[in-house]
Amino acid sequence: MIDYNLHQHSTFSDGKAEPEAYVKKALELKFRAMGFTEHSPLPFPTTFSLKPENTDAYVRETARLKEQYHGQITLYRALEFDFIPGLSDDFDSWRDKLHLDYAIGSVHLVRPEQSDDLWFIDGPEREKYDDGLRKYFGNDIKKAVKTYYFQINQMIETQQFEIVGHLDKIKMHNAGRYFSEDEKWYRRLVNESLELVREKDLVMEVNTRGLYKKRSDRLFPDDETLKQVKTMQIPVLISSDAHLPEELNMLMDHAEERLVEIGIKAVVFFREGSWEEVPLV
């Protein structure tokens, strides 16, 4: 059983409970560790990210919890960074300012070429995905998906972070409608990103949220990608991307089973600044 979760959101970003409620739930679940990973501050107003004016309070509250629960559970202060070329701040600037223990790098907002508009590929509304695909890419799904993966690649090449968050989130609202993940062009894009993940020694997140929110019928990333991850010996980490305390361990057992079936024998755990292996069998 996985007894830690390094990806979750509290009311400091778009989570639905105070940070301490997650700690209490984690203790109930007998977790040994947990990381707060609010959505990183962005240079424009959003409904989901940590507000720049709340960053000090985030540091204070996470420091207080680390202190208060010392000896019972290891708590980390981190961020799930959004990378938007030419718009988001360098991950490093916030890492230093907030003394983060680690960072997740994710793409939720795709910036179409030569445009200041952003295509939101996450959230519950499928219409937004469809509208953006039409408006920014003239319904050219290959062009849109390529732009997404190029943005991921640019993030990997230019930013400092440890964990790749939900690598294939782009498939969620596609839901088999515009392309199939078996198509050669798609597999090539994923493989190119995986090469970079390996080169930079990053950890691949296996994220259960799409599945338990019933927005995706598979884990992020899909089985085919996980098989490749195994072959390439890229380390993996299971997380639930919780936005509620009850979601802290959701479908983690399922993810563990999938990994074992695929032949991945261990996940990694973050301890004192480095990664150690946790066997799955």
| The only residue of 19, 41, 77, 80 in contact with Zn ion, by rule CB under 5 A | 80
Q: What is the DSSP string of 43-65?
A: SS--SSSPPGGGHHHHHHHHHHH
Least distance CB 265 / Zn ion (angstroms)? 26
Task: Enter the tokens of residue 206.
Answer: 């296996």
| Burial class of 181 by CB neighbour count within 10 A (0 to 12, 13 to 18, 19+) | middle
User: Of 47 and 233, which has the nearer Cβ to Zn ion?
Assistant: 47
User: Of 61 and 80, which has the nearer Cβ to Zn ion?
Assistant: 80
What spatial distance separates the first Cα and last Cα of the chain, rounded to whole Å?
10
Contact 59, 77 (CB under 8 A): yes
Alpha-carbon distance of 203 to 274, in angstroms, equals: 11
Least distance CB 9 / Zn ion (angstroms)? 6
User: Of 163 and 229, which has the nearer Cβ to Zn ion?
Assistant: 163
Q: Which of residues 200-219 bind Zn ion (CB under 5 A)?
A: none
Tell me the window of 73-81, 141-149, 171-179, 231-239 that interacts with Zn ion (CB under 5 A). Answer: 73-81
- Residue linked to tokens 């907002």: 109
Tell me the window of 18-26, 102-110, 248-256, 260-268 that interacts with Zn ion (CB under 5 A). Answer: 102-110
User: Of 136 and 220, which has the nearer Cβ to Zn ion?
Assistant: 220
Contact 105, 164 (CB under 8 A): yes
Least distance CB 139 / Zn ion (angstroms)? 25
Task: Give the number of residues in contact with Zn ion, rule: CB under 5 A.
Answer: 3
User: Of 133 and 170, which has the nearer Cβ to Zn ion?
Assistant: 170
- Residue linked to tokens 């708590």: 75
Give the total residue count for the chain: 281
Tell me the window of 25-33, 48-56, 106-114, 254-262 that interacts with Zn ion (CB under 5 A). Answer: 106-114
User: Of 142 and 215, which has the nearer Cβ to Zn ion?
Assistant: 215
| The only residue of 241, 247, 250, 256 in contact with Zn ion, by rule CB under 5 A | 241
What is the 8-class DSSP label of residue 265? -
Least distance CB 129 / Zn ion (angstroms)? 15
Alpha-carbon distance of 31 to 249, in angstroms, equals: 9
Contact 238, 262 (CB under 8 A): no
Cα-trace Rg, the chain: 18
User: Of 211 and 279, which has the nearer Cβ to Zn ion?
Assistant: 211
| The only residue of 5, 40, 55, 106 in contact with Zn ion, by rule CB under 5 A | 106
Residues that bind Zn ion (CB under 5 A): 80, 106, 241
